[in-house]
Structure 1
Amino acid sequence: MPKKVDPRQRRTLIADALMRVAAQQGLEAVSLRHVAAAAGVSAGMVQHYFRTKDEMMAFALSVVRDRSQARVTDAVAALGDRPAPRQLLRAMIAALLPLDEQSRDDGRVALAFLAYTAVRPEAAATLRKDNRQLVDFVAGLLPGPDADAAAAGLLALMEGLGVHLLGGNYTPQQALRALDHHLDLIFEATGGAGERPPVTPT
């Protein structure tokens, strides 16, 4: 009997190859031919699952999103029941920062996709939706009357730290200290700082 192929598994294999190419060689190196070579499959097979480069990039981003969500879920679960808002935010943002090799690879792909969509607004719809949901969630955890603005600023800090981490400008320890300092400013202003976790080497 012919071997049954799982389309999702095959698409994920190709998306992983795309992410390796983007992370190691840059977005300009992403092409059907290069991705096929990295995946060890034919160019025709890549084209069977992804008709355009936009489709390949969007699926790769969905894989990054799933991995990031898994890291966040694990980090939040480690806090136990009913963590304080500051602890929850710190754990969530630290899990999203590129602090180790796997998250750095994912971060490079996410950054490449962001640059890719800067000149392709139609490809950025998912990013806009995710960003709005994340801002709303973070705002719900922040004190004060300007929670939306504070949430936007906190997430902008997260993205900036991510870029500097990917560029090697900050160490993980420096990035986490900057995050803790910013959270202190937000929560101490309203007397809700809570417990500050230690910065551990990564």
Structure 2
Amino acid sequence: MPRLVDPEARRATINAAVVDIVGESGFAAATMRAVADRIGASTSAVTHYVESRDDLLRVAVRGEVNRRISEADEVIGGRSGAEGLRALLDWALIGRSQTAHRFWLAAIVAAADQAVVATELARFNEWWSARVRGFLADTAVRDVDASADLIGVLVDGLIINGFYGDAPATSARRAQILDLVWSALDL
């Protein structure tokens, strides 16, 4: 008798394997064979759920983007203005794990030569930009564009800094830096 497999559970397992592999070794390492090995199945068990490597990456990145947008929206709740922006930045900089940051950094690097990753990442970036600019527009900040750029540099810089073994940006350090930028923006 054939084994019954829950298709949604199998897709989730495949996506989680892609995210783990990418977080550990980058997008180049996320192959059908590597995913199959990670989940303890054959490549045909993977290709049953995804048509190609691009599809494999698209589904996994889309799932991560959707998960992050949902998490952030939940953390933000009904907040607006400076309060909503602070909740978003706290979530992005302090509430995320090193694994989540590694996946995100790998996605940014891969977007340069993997159109499927770039497309999914662009969707998140549009959401992020709209949220940051919307929150800033609801404050008394003088220059929304320059303030949004400063926030972008802050977020990118702190995430990247977290990967240096000799000077990691711990959550406490990130909070201190965020407080300094917050003061500079007069929020």
TM-score range, shorter chain: 0.7 to 0.9
Identity over aligned residues, as a percent?
26
Aligned in 2, Cα 1:171/1:55: closer, same or farther, shift over 3 Å? same
Aligned in 2, Cα 1:126/1:64: closer, same or farther, shift over 3 Å? closer
Contact 2:61–2:120 (CA under 8 A) maintained in structure 1: no
Structure 1 alignment gaps of length 5 or more: 194-202
Contact 1:165–1:175 (CA under 8 A) maintained in structure 2: no
Q: Which residue of 2 aligns with 1:183?
A: 182
1:90 pairs with 86, 89, 92, which one? 86
Contact 2:11–2:49 (CA under 8 A) maintained in structure 1: yes
| RMSD of Structure 2 on Structure 1 (CA) | 2.5
Q: Which residue of 2 aligns with 1:146?
A: 143
Q: How does 1:49-198 map to 2 (within 5 A)?
A: 49-77=49-77, 83=79, 85-97=81-93, 99=95, 103-121=97-115, 123-142=117-136, 143-168=140-165, 169-186=168-185, 188=186, 193=187
TM-score, normalised with respect to structure 2: 0.81
Deviation at 1:67, TM superposition (A): 3.1
In the TM superposition, what whole-angstrom CA distance separates every residue of 1:138-165 from its partner, at most 9, and x where no partner exists? 1122134531332133123212211212
Contact 1:97–1:161 (CA under 8 A) maintained in structure 2: yes
- Number of residue pairs matched by the alignment: 182
Structure 2 alignment gaps of length 5 or more: none
Deviation at 1:171, TM superposition (A): 1.2
In the TM superposition, what whole-angstrom CA distance separates every residue of 1:167-189 from its partner, at most 9, and x where no partner exists? 44211111111112112211x2x
Higher deviation after alignment, 153-162 or 141-150: 141-150
Aligned-partner Cα distance in 1 for 2:115–2:30: 19
Aligned in 2, Cα 1:66/1:125: closer, same or farther, shift over 3 Å? closer
Q: Which residue of 2 aligns with 1:9?
A: 9
Contact 2:162–2:169 (CA under 8 A) maintained in structure 1: yes
TM-score, normalised with respect to structure 1: 0.76
Contact 2:61–2:117 (CA under 8 A) maintained in structure 1: no
